[in-house]
A = this chain, B = another copy of it.
Amino acid sequence: MNLHIDPLIDSQPQESEDSNNLRQTRRSLPIALLRARESVMAKFRPMLARHNINEQQWRVIRILGEFGELDATQLAERALVLGPSLTRMLKTLEKSKHIAKRSDKKDARRTLLSITAKAKALIKEVSPESIQIYQDIESRFGADEMEKLLDLLEAITKDNAL
């Protein structure tokens, strides 16, 4: 999702017939989350593009780098990718030698996924740039604000899962 969104700071709703009491989209949580995410990802996407990977592929590789070998279900859950998407992505990532597949000896239904040396090298390449971008965002937004935001995001996520 690359929306190249302009600020929209001055725009105001025009309709007077607001008989439906829907919150203005500006203060709608789903839309605010999407906008915020887009504004953040806009900073990361050009860097990922330079390394010939997209957002989802980077998440999958990163999760396997962080957690080690996982089965497809756990990987999809943690990388926030749906099963059918993961199935397709794995075909690509196997061909490009970033991910290796093996079947679980104890449970033939399960596929175990792990990253290759090539993907580990990619992580080492991307990490410093990623950290730099993150720090730029954090230093402008403020480290305290960033912590507060992350805490609230974690909290509402946990809250909604109940």
Residues in chain A within 8 A of chain B (CB atoms): 1-3, 5-9, 11, 13-15, 18-27, 29-44, 55, 59, 62-63, 65-68, 77-78, 80-82, 123-124, 127, 130-131, 134, 137, 140-141, 145-146, 148-150, 152-162
Cα separation A161 to B82 with both chains bound (whole Å): 30
Q: Which residues of B contact A63 (CB under 8 A)?
A: 25
CB < 8 Å neighbour of A13 from B2, B67, B130, B146: B67
At the interface, is chain A mostly helix, strand, loop or mixed?
Answer: helix
Q: Known interface pairs A21-B127, A145-B152, A154-B32. Does A7 touch B161 (Cβ–Cβ under 8 Å)?
A: yes
6 A-B pairs, CB-CB below 8 angstroms? A9-B158, A11-B78, A15-B68, A36-B157, A141-B160, A148-B152
CB < 8 Å neighbour of A141 from B14, B22, B148, B156: B156
Q: What are the 10 A-B residue pairs with the smallest beta carbon separation, nearest first?
A: A39-B160, A20-B127, A33-B37, A32-B153, A14-B68, A36-B153, A149-B152, A7-B161, A39-B157, A13-B66
Cα separation A162 to B134 with both chains bound (whole Å): 15
| Residue with the greatest number of chain B CB neighbours at <10 A, chosen from A1, A36, A80, A134 | A36
- Whether A2 and B160, one on each chain, are in contact in the complex, defined by CB atoms closer than 8 angstroms, is no
